[in-house]
Structure 1
Amino acid sequence: MTPVISTRLILFCTVFSMTSLANAATANGTFQVLMTIQKACTVTAGSASNITLGPVNTTATNTNGSNTISINCSKTTPYFIGLAPSTTNGGNTTGGGAMSSVANSATNTDKVPYQLNQTSATGPVWGNTATATSVGNGVASIGTGQGQNFTVYATAPSANFTPDDYADVVTVTVNY
C-alpha cells in the first residue's frame, strides 16, 4: 500500500468516526420515589395483663390492684386511650365496671363493682369517652414510634358478696 493510499484510508476512517461521534446524543429524565406513611396505633399483644383483686374475705374494703398496658403509635400521632368494662357500673363514661360470677352465674347474681383509675388507686377516673379528637375522661399521649406504658388501677370498694370467683372484661380503645 502506498503512503498516499494509506494516508487517505486513515483520513477516511478518522472522518467517519468523527461523524459518528458528532451524531451521538444523550437524553436524561427524572422520577421520584414516593411513599405515604399513615398514622397507626396498636395495643401491644399480651401487654394488658389481668388485674387480680384477690383472694380476699368478705370484710375486705377498697381492695386494689394494677396492670400495665402498652400502646405503640406512629411518631407525633396524638392519641387518646379509653377503657370500657363489659358490664358497666355507672356507665362506661365513669370507668366503673361490675364483675359477675365466673362459675355460678345461674345461681349467683351478685355483681361486684370496681373502679378504673389513671394515676393511682384513688386517682382520676379512667373512662371510655376518649375520641379521635378529645381525651374525655380517658388518657392522652403523643406517639413516639415505640411502645409507651400506662398503668391501670382497679379498686373494689367492698367484698361483701357471695363467696365465688368474679370477673369482667375491659376493652382498651385507642382513638387517633
Structure 2
Amino acid sequence: MHPVVRLFAGTAALALGVASAPGYAATATTTFNVRVTITAACDITTTAPTDVDFGSQPSTATNVDNQGALNVNCTPSAPYTIALDNGQNGTDANSRKMSNGTELVPYQLYRNAARTAADIWGSTTGAGGNVYAGTGDGSVQNIPVYGRVPSTNFAAGSYTDVITATITY
C-alpha cells in the first residue's frame, strides 16, 4: 500500500474510533419560584348606575316605590361595603329630600325591598351600621337601591337630589 494511502487510512480509523467512543455528559438541576401577588380591587364606575326614578305621580300618591341599581365589580372573595351619603338636602340618612328650588320632598333609600326602618341605606359602618355589605365574585354585580317617597302632597314640579355612593374594600 502506498504510504500516503496508509496514512489516510490510519487517520480515518483514528477519527472513527474517537467518534464512536462513549460520551459522558454531566447534568445539574436547580429550582426557582414563580410568584404573583394579587391585590383586591373594586370598581363602582365602569358600568353606570341606574337612577331611582319615581316617575310622574299625582299629588295624592303615598308610598311611591321604585328602584335603581349600583353596579360593582370586585375581586373574587373580596369583602366590600357601599355607603350612600345624605344627598344634597339631607342632614342624615333619615332626612333625605329632593328639591325644586326651596320646595323639598322627603324620600328614603333602602338596602332591602321590604323598605323597613332597619333597611335604610346610609354611611354608618361598624356596630349598628347601615351600609350595604357584599363579597366580590370577579364579575359585575347589580346591587338594587330601593327607594320610597312616603307622600307626594307637595307643590307640582320636578324634584331632584344627587346621592354619592362610596365603595370601601
- TM, length-normalised to structure 1: 0.75
Instruction: Give the CA deviation at 1:16.
Output: 8.1
Residue identity matched to 2:44: V
Say whether residues 1:42 and 2:36 are aligned partners. Answer: no
The equivalent of 2:124 in structure 1 is 129
Instruction: Give the CA deviation at 1:17.
Output: 8.6
The equivalent of 1:10 in structure 2 is 13
Across the two proteins, how many residue pairs are aligned to each other? 163
Segment of structure 1 superposing worse, 29-38 or 64-73: 29-38
CA RMSD of superposed structures (Å): 2.9
Segment of structure 1 superposing worse, 122-131 or 144-153: 122-131
Work out the CA distance in 2 between the residues paired with 1:72 and 1:46: 9
The equivalent of 1:80 in structure 2 is 81
- TM, length-normalised to structure 2: 0.78
Say whether residues 1:146 and 2:139 are aligned partners. Answer: yes
The equivalent of 2:155 in structure 1 is 162
Residue identity matched to 1:158: S
Unaligned residue ranges in structure 2 (runs of 5+): none
Instruction: Give the CA deviation at 1:125.
Output: 0.8
Residue identity matched to 1:145: G
Work out the CA distance in 2 between the residues paired with 1:27 and 1:135: 63
CA pair 88-130 structure 1, distance change in 2 beyond 3 A: farther
The equivalent of 2:92 in structure 1 is 91
Secondary structure of 2:148 counterpart: strand
Residue by residue, what CA displacement relative to the aligned partner does 1:98-124 show, whole Å, maximum 9, x if unpaired? 1111xxx3xxx0111111111125231
CA pair 5-64 structure 1, distance change in 2 beyond 3 A: closer
Work out the CA distance in 2 between the residues paired with 1:121 and 1:12: 94
Work out the CA distance in 2 between the residues paired with 1:67 and 1:135: 25
8 A contact 1:130–1:139 mirrored in 2:
no
Work out the CA distance in 2 between the residues paired with 1:48 and 1:32: 43
Instruction: Give the CA deviation at 1:170.
Output: 1.4
8 A contact 2:47–2:72 mirrored in 1:
no
Instruction: Give the CA deviation at 1:11.
Output: 1.9
8 A contact 2:89–2:99 mirrored in 1:
no
